[in-house]
Amino acid sequence: MTDTSLAEPDADLLARLDLAVAEHAESAETLLVDLVAISSVNPLQPGVSAEEHLGGESAANALLAEWMSRAGAENHTVTGDRGRDNLVAVLPGSGGGRSLAVNGHIDTVASQDGWRTDPWTAVRTENRIYGLGTTDMKAAHAATWLAFRALSDVGIQLAGDLHLHSVIGEETMSHELGTTAVLEAGFVPDAVLIPEPTSYDDGALQVANTAAGNYLFSMTVRGRSTHWASRNLAIRAGGGGDAVGVNAIDKAFYIYSAMRQLEEQWAFTKRHPQFAPGAFIIHPGVLHADVGFPAAPYFPDRARFDYLLSFPPGDTSEAIRAEVEGHINAAAALDPWLAAHPIEFDWIDTWPPAYTDPQGDFSRVVMAARNEVVAGLGAPAMDAPRPNGAQSDASFYEARGVPALVCGPGNLQSAHAANEFVDRRLIPATARMILKTALRWST
């Protein structure tokens, strides 16, 4: 997507910024190495000790704040929770221009099995930097610092403010502690670029304008426990039926079939022009059933499913919740036991869909900047933004009317995996993309 109506930055200015990026690219890698060395595992991650990891996010943001200060930024702390601080770094504009934020989460997932080296000791190879959080998404923080530093070195003051929002909580959907806390503190930009991992084998720095919503929820099915040998009396003709006992696993699979039926319907009823047919799913991730302890000689009297579903832009979390409950309750009403013992739903967390107009001003600006930068990498141009492969904090900016696009140096296939890495060449490329976006947008 190339738009000749966009205001073009001065060629000499771009050349000077490019030189500044090249001069400080190695320092940006040093920042990334230092950020990886600080364990900023989200303390709310399942299976980790909260107390052990509390404070890591704040420590990483404190280091980042030191570097941002040296790049001329004004730093602000927004506390999201005890021992967990967000960082807002601002290069003030001269006034009258549109502001731009770069949003990146500083929290990471926990280390996975299979690392060949210490996850918190970054290892540089010819074209890669390995380490926990490199792709998701500390390389983006390093690239943002590099853009700030280049502006400072060249002595450019944009017309609008340029922000870095380095936030906590993203890995556990805790936006109210991170991005939403920053927005509620008053740091609301006119647009936001989120350099989450979008560099794939089919092209670096892919631009995404939309992502599916998701909802994490559970369903509990109740039964009536009895001795396992009574199964024939509970399910065969001539026996006592439900009065003898009800195996919660049997009822759970009845409900599972109803949920699978709804998922198959969604292949036709949940559509969006930017998503392939059948993209929206209802995923059963956990099934557990017992009688309070694992013992095969009993009828389990409880069974719980944990589900994670996805849904398209245009639907709301509230509407999806009502649709799922309505479908399951209608199916349960046809079973005498389930009609008398309703399914128990627990709606745990939701991430609303993301959508920014792919033809809007901000999309045109970012697409032009991205295509110019990747041409130097030998990567193909994009004609239009595409859906993102994962959720991001774009949703919470868009909920406030702020256009948000996702484009960053990491590869999503490397995120959350052992031996996570980032292509080190994409750090300066991302900085250049941020700079070109800021110069065109901040008018």
In the chain, where are the structural domains located? 11-211+354-441, 213-351
The answer to whether 245 touches 223, Cβ cutoff 8 Å, is yes
Predicted confidence (pLDDT) at residue 83 exceeds the cutoff of 50:
yes
How much is the pTM? 0.89
Mean pLDDT, the chain, as a whole number? 95
Strand ordering across the sheet containing 128-130: 123-124, 128-130, 421-423
When pLDDT is averaged across residues 89-100 and rounded to a whole number, the result is: 96
Q: Cα separation of 392 and 170, whole Å?
A: 8
Tokens describing residue 334: 């046809």
Predicted confidence (pLDDT) at residue 60 exceeds the cutoff of 60:
yes
pLDDT tens-place string over residues 135-192: 999 999 999 999 999 999 999 999 999 999 999 999 998 999 999 999 999 999 999 9
pLDDT tens-place string over residues 2-43: 444 567 888 999 999 999 999 999 999 999 999 999 999 999
When pLDDT is averaged across residues 357-374 and rounded to a whole number, the result is: 97
CB-based contacts of 53: which residues, under 8 Å, 6+ apart?
A: 39, 41, 42, 43, 45
CATH topology of domain 11-211+354-441: Aminopeptidase (3.40.630)
Model confidence at 293, pLDDT cuts 50, 70, 90, reads very high
User: Pick from 361, 380, 359: which is nearest to 370 by CA?
Assistant: 380
pLDDT at residue 264, as a whole number: 98
pLDDT at residue 2, as a whole number: 44
DSSP state of 41: B
Domain 213-351 part of CATH 3.10.20.30: no
